[in-house]
A and B are shown apart, each in its own frame.
Chain A
């Protein structure tokens, strides 16, 4: 997302829309949204990456749609409209994954469908897209999607290295990170890292590191 920054489209305010959610207003670690999927799909790096891309595209495209329709959406059914847009996009994403990255879609299984219930999406539609023009909304979607993906990938990295001793990347496959010699010294993969609770621990550590680097984020 580092396209030409000289354009006025990327004014300081607009850049903030992308960089903010990655760090200081991160949807997962600061706003604590979308935690559920962060716990579930982070056993392998490739799952986390694909899930991140899926959420990113849904929230970015959805933001643009909602924002372009913002003057036409009847306010009484606006939540339903948002839900329909999110659901339609998620179904499209699910179908595309099934057709082109079948293995990953099998592993993500139900969690792709559950993107609909990801609070980040409805949160951004309602809080940002309904009140802003399409371009800032698009950037906001990208920013939030990236913020979500970043947390997912970081969590998945630690979970996979500590839990299985490997890194799985799309198109590259499984790479063994922990060498065989370490195992012969008695090192064991940590089974807890493969289960959802370990994500909570890693997300908590992430928040700790993030807040100690940005003291203004600490609740008084």
Chain B
């Protein structure tokens, strides 16, 4: 070897060349694979939303197909903030633009929680009123609503994100057209205990939510995950043995998020007509001509 492998010049030159080559290689790999990775992530999201509708047509859908049929079911994508103001309202004909941060589809559930909600909750620990006040002030927290249709029936898919025992948990909740009874749920988690908390992603736990109600007599009542084996009311769900804290995380996340949606549906005339008590709807429809046109436009 003519080169002196121990000289400083050689060492520095070697390190420099190595870094440049490796850096270039990694950039190349990352760029080449990123379309496939992004498609995976977006397909998974579509799969979750479709499954949360809770209808047999989308129940067993696989990730690869989710993108193709997404627009057959999801007809409207609405984004609201904590106060219930509509920030973005896209119909099925508006294509999903991945750069439009307000499009309901682009809302990153985990980021919503960990970046915007968690700091507020940590700062005012325990002070529920203060947390609510701060959350409603924040302009960064968004809540997506997916209005889905199948066989002439309307479903609403809402989202929720929070913290389990170890790390983030998030999910989608599908409501029937009455806007109070749950038709389907999908939960996912980052790092719950395998075999215990991680079971929130499985069918036996999720099917416990079906038919449960998020409101009682026009009063918001969140869904409670109880310790397993208790008698259940229409707002309660059987929990998982050994996963008490994950269950508590699900409770907290559903309560915080569903309340916002419930208040939005209640206060927004477009949706409040959909809530139960048929006679009331007929009365309002008859007395309020603007509502009729709004209701028609939904259908």
> Known: A74-B11, A95-B33. Is A84-B18 also a contact (CB below 8 A)?
yes
- Using CB atoms and an 8 Å cutoff, list the residues of chain A in contact with chain B: 43, 71-77, 80-81, 84-85, 88, 91-92, 95-96, 98-100, 102-103, 109, 163-164, 191, 194-195
Cα A85 to Cα B15 with chains together (Å) = 12
Question: Size range of the interface on B?
Answer: 20 to 34
**Residue pair A194, B37 in contact (C-beta under 8 Å):** no
Cα A95 to Cα B29 with chains together (Å) = 8
Cα A84 to Cα B18 with chains together (Å) = 9
**Residue pair A71, B1 in contact (C-beta under 8 Å):** yes
> Known: A88-B26, A92-B26. Is A191-B5 also a contact (CB below 8 A)?
no
**Residue pair A43, B195 in contact (C-beta under 8 Å):** yes
**Residue pair B37, A95 in contact (C-beta under 8 Å):** yes
A164 to B: closest C-beta gap in Å: 7
> Known: A74-B11, A84-B19. Is A100-B36 also a contact (CB below 8 A)?
yes
Residue of B nearest to A73 (CB): B14
Cα A88 to Cα B22 with chains together (Å) = 7
Residue of A nearest to B1 (CB): A71
Cα A163 to Cα B196 with chains together (Å) = 11
- Sampled A-B contacts (24; CB under 8 Å): A74-B10, A74-B11, A75-B5, A76-B6, A77-B14, A77-B15, A81-B15, A91-B29, A92-B26, A92-B29, A95-B29, A95-B37, A98-B33, A98-B37, A99-B33, A99-B36, A99-B40, A102-B40, A103-B63, A163-B195, A191-B195, A191-B196, A194-B195, A195-B195
B72 to A: closest C-beta gap in Å: 23
**Residue pair A80, B15 in contact (C-beta under 8 Å):** yes
Cα A98 to Cα B33 with chains together (Å) = 9
Cα A61 to Cα B169 with chains together (Å) = 37
Cα A77 to Cα B195 with chains together (Å) = 44
Residues of B within 8 A of A43 (CB): 194-195
Cα A147 to Cα B92 with chains together (Å) = 53
Residues of A within 8 A of B3 (CB): 72
Nearest 9 pairs of A and B residues by beta carbon: A194-B195, A99-B36, A102-B40, A74-B11, A99-B33, A43-B194, A88-B22, A98-B37, A95-B33
Which residue among B6, B26, B195 has the maximum number of chain A CB atoms within 10 Å of its CB?
A: B195
Residues of A within 8 A of B1 (CB): 71
> Known: A98-B40, A99-B36, A99-B37. Is A74-B29 also a contact (CB below 8 A)?
no
Residues of B within 8 A of A72 (CB): 3, 5, 14
Cα A96 to Cα B40 with chains together (Å) = 12
Residues of B within 8 A of A191 (CB): 195-196, 242
Q: Is B25 on the interface with A (CB-CB < 8 A)?
A: yes
Determine which of A81, A91, A194 lies in contact with B26 in the assembled complex, contact meaning CB atoms within 8 Å.
A91
Residues of A within 8 A of B195 (CB): 43, 163-164, 191, 194-195
> Known: A164-B195, A191-B242. Is A84-B33 also a contact (CB below 8 A)?
no
Cα A191 to Cα B241 with chains together (Å) = 11
